[in-house]
Amino acid sequence: MNRPGWWRLDPCAPFALGPRTLPGRIWTASGCFGYGLHGHDIAAPDLATPYEGIGAVVTKTVTPQPRPGNPMPRLVELPFGAINSIGLENVGFAAFLRDVLPELEARGVPNVVSLAATRPAEFGTMAARLYEVGRGLRHWHGVELNLSCPNVAEGGHDFGSDPATVAACVAAARPHLPDRILVAKLTPNVAQIAPLAAAAAQAGCDAVAAINTVVGLDVDTASGRPVLPRRFGGYSGLAIQPIALAKVDEIVREVGVPVVGVGGIVDARDALKFFALGCVAVQVGTAQMRDPFAAARLAAELRR
């Protein structure tokens, strides 16, 4: 790919975001590269490791307690993306701190830890404990708050769609992360995303990640039933890129908070669209599940 004349950045060069200097601008999206520990034993003809050029691995989302996830099937590939209802399957916060975080440090994987909870106060509790355990770790750069999860305190709706609750979640975590970045990952399933970004920025986040998956449903024509047992899922992949670009543009123009772009990024040309709109970094998601070297190849292509 011939880079456009306006592109002057090295995506693999360190850059400042909030209180940290991140190793690069190409990240992997939460849930799309596991916890970031499973790429060390594979290689490709053009790359020695899938971590080459990666600025951060955003870990699989961690919750206060272990979760087994939703019934199978919970990930279905579609022609232009994938639909999932994973149910936040994870080892739980205690096991993550004990087993995963030290291993990420030992292997030198730059990481941002994705956290989810069902009440704003829980984000503060988790952030405080994470900082207590990880404050001396060089490769742990911060936290991404997964704000598309049910709020049991308010009837189970997606509390990521409420600016006041977004602000409460960010405000709960911010004091406990004095020298780490705090990113709020925003839902696109709202008419306007700028109020969510503004609430997160005012509460003290260093950046917002936009966007999370789009609510979707697909049907198995053989049975006449939805392909996922829970009917609805999160749709991701190339097809949602125009939605992501529109939401990113809305945030950049109306709020001005740093944006990490997510949604339908497959190759370097896709990433450039997000950078053109003003993103400070991008995350590779569904493409990374198909090819664990996708983000590394994208970084190498931009760097050339």
Q: Which residues are catalytic?
A: 149
> Residue 14 and residue 266: Cα distance in Å, rounded?
22
3-state secondary structure the chain: CCCCCCCCCCCCCCEEECCEEECCCEEECCCCCCCCCCCCCCCECCECCCCCCCCEEECCCECCCCECCCCCCCEEEECCEEEECCCCCECCHHHHHHHHHHHHHHCCCCEEEEECCCCHHHHHHHHHHHHHHHCCCCCEEEEEEECCCECHHHCCCEHHHCHHHHHHHHHHHHHHCCCCEEEEECCCCCCCCHHHHHHHHHHCCCEEEECCCEEECCEECCCCEECCCCCCEEEECHHHHHHHHHHHHHHHHHCCCCEEEECCCCCHHHHHHHHHCCCCEEEECHHHHHCCCHHHHHHHHHHC
Q: How many other CB atoms sit within 10 Å of the CB of residue 191?
A: 6
Mention every residue, 6+ apart, whose C-beta is less than 8 A from residue 204. Answer: 170, 171, 174, 182
> Residue 54 and residue 22: Cα distance in Å, rounded?
10
Q: Is beta strand 181-185 parallel, antiparallel or unpaired with respect to 233-236? A: unpaired
